[in-house]
Amino acid sequence: MSSYVIRGANILGETVSDIAIEDGVITAIGAGLEGDEVIDATGLVALPGLVDLHTHVREPGREDAETVLTGSKAAARGGFTCVHAMANTDPVADTAGVVEQVWRLGREGGYCDVQPVGAVTIGLGGERLAELGAMADSAAAVRVFSDDGKCVSDAVIMRRALEYVKAFDGVIAQHAQEPRLTEGAQMNEGPLSGELGLTGWPAVAEEAIIARDVLLAEHVGSRLHVCHLSTRGSVEIIRWAKGRGIDVTAEVTPHHLLLSDDLVRSYDPIYKVNPPLRSNDDVAAVREGLADGTIDIVATDHAPHPMEDKECEWSAAAFGMLGLETALSVVQQTMVDPGLLTWAEVAEKMSAKPAEIGRVSNQGRPLEVGEPANIVLVDPAATRVIDARDTASLSRNNPYAGLTLSGEVVATFLRGRPTVRDRALVEGVTV
């Protein structure tokens, strides 16, 4: 493996220095370092490789929308060196065999680490616990379990799951959606849903499940993670729970940081997502929650869909948006540029903390000598108009198409090996 020197990078936006890489680790940080290859990082910010706790790679079963390989390539282009692959595949990732298949496909691809998320219940059916212990003991060493796409709505099943994962320090990641309150829901419930004639998805459907689950987590003394939090009330509940000492973490997606339900006026299914785009007040609240630490991390909820599932009438369209390749730009535009987060705080919320929640010990590490060389270089001065066709994903359901976003990933290193250089994927990456 070649040795590299990243010359003149602005590490975490705080210190300009060279970074030397050899044999997959950072060997020196300082001035005037030498290596086989020198990468000019003047004006670029160096961050630890990003970690996504919430990615849909669709394989096995929906390889027409995405595969582990194409999802990994999209992740690398976005600066990610590790993603957690959600369990709503076909077959569902509810056994050791399926999670090991996904894990091995990620290793073979080589563009980022792919850590499977195991289902909480068999077939996401919400009735019987899946093989949580077997998945935890598998080669994939699963520590995050979620029925994402569906809520574990039965309180008894949720309690049992929270109790079960304590044995191996696992976490239940809940898709907070009370199903009886969201039957046929199409968008955020409010004046606009009435105006447009679309069935509303009320904020209370999210908030009621979060309130229930933080109390269950407290009762059994287990870890709870709340997926794609989207309302002001949800932020307030998480803030209350943390103040009470409950072991709960929460994520917000890039699209809930930037986009609001006003966009649904177009009836363009590109904006159909679950939970739905919320009001401008909710957008402000989740930004505030991320800035003050109530919300722990940003997670993409990257949800690719083939063209026929999105280019149709609103009611028939699938829920979901792409997110891996644009996440860092959205966070820069909504949080860094306005002064709500520093780059060091971005590293905490998009690298260190998601790795900690997912118990991935070799990712999310600081940029220090002796640590794995998982590094992303971003040009904060760049602006780019998003082109839905310019993607490594097999799908094109990009809600940012046509928008101008701040920042661009210039290079990504996975354990000292470049997966992206000069803003382009490195082809033929090997393990």
Tell me the pLDDT tens digit for each residue of 280-324: 999 999 999 999 999 999 999 999 999 999 999 999 999 999 999
Check pLDDT > 80 for residue 430. Answer: no
Question: In terms of domains, do 101 and 156 share one?
Answer: yes
Can you give the three-state secondary structure of 217-275, one letter per residue?
A: HHHHCCCEEECCCCCHHHHHHHHHHHHCCCCEEEEECHHHHHCCHHHHHHCCHHHCCCC
Question: Same domain for 336 and 384?
Answer: no
pLDDT tens digits, residue range 329-384?
Answer: 999 999 999 999 999 999 999 999 999 999 999 999 999 999 999 999 999 999 99
Range of the domain at 419: 4-45+371-425
255 marked ligand binding residue: no
Residues 265 and 325 in one domain: yes
Query: How many domains is the chain built from?
Result: 2
Q: Would 414 be classed as within a structural domain?
A: yes
Angle at 401 between CA 400 and CA 404, to 5 degrees: 70
Instruction: Say which CATH number the domain at 389 has.
Output: 2.30.40.10
In a domain, 363, yes or no: no
Respond yes or no: is residue 282 known to be catalytic. Answer: no
Instruction: Report yes or no on 365 lying in a domain.
Output: no
Same domain, 291 and 347: yes
Q: Is the pLDDT of residue 268 over 70?
A: yes
Q: Are 331 and 407 in the same domain? A: no
pLDDT digits (tens, 9 = 90+) for 210-228: 999 999 999 999 999 999 9
The tokens 């990994």 sit on which residue?
A: 72
Q: Is 262 annotated as a binding residue?
A: no
234 and 303 share one domain: yes
Of 333, 357, 381, the residue that ends a domain is 357
pLDDT of 2: 79
Q: Is residue 261 part of a domain?
A: yes
State phi, psi for 339 to the nearest 5 degrees: 85, 15
Query: Is residue 29 domain-resident?
Result: yes
Residues 15, 105: one domain? no
Please compute the mean of the pLDDT values over residues 413-428 and round it to a whole number.
95
Last residue of a domain, one of 297, 326, 357: 357
Note whether 35 and 55 are same-domain residues.
no
Task: Confirm or deny that 319 is annotated as ligand binding.
Answer: yes
Q: Is the previous residue joined to 275 through a cis bond, with omega within 30 degrees of 0?
A: yes
Is 274 a known ligand-binding residue? Answer: yes
Catalytic choice (301, 309, 379, 422): 301
Residue 431 has what pLDDT?
57
In terms of domains, do 299 and 325 share one?
A: yes
Q: What is the pLDDT of residue 400?
A: 98
State whether 39 and 59 are in the same domain. no
CATH classification at residue 166 = 3.20.20.140
How far, in Å, CA of 295 to CA of 263, rounded? 24
Any binding-site annotation on 80?
A: no
pTM: 0.97
**143 marked among binding-site residues:** no
Residue 77 lies in a domain: yes
Q: Is 323 annotated as a binding residue?
A: no
Q: Is 88 annotated as a binding residue?
A: yes
236-258 average pLDDT score: 98
Q: Annotation-wise, does 228 bind a ligand?
A: yes
C-beta neighbour count of 196 within 10 angstroms: 15
**Do 244 and 315 fall into the same domain?**
yes
Please indicate, yes or no, if residue 364 is contained in any of the structural domains.
Answer: no
Beta partners for residue 421, in sequence order: 424
Query: Does 65 lie in the same domain as 29?
Result: no
Joined tokens for residue 334? 């909504």
Q: Which of 309, 324, 357 is the last residue of a domain?
A: 357
| Other beta carbons within 10 Å of 137 | 13
Q: Is 219 marked within a binding site?
A: no
Contact 260, 283 (CB under 8 A): yes
Q: Is 56 annotated as a binding residue?
A: yes
398 assigned to some structural domain? yes
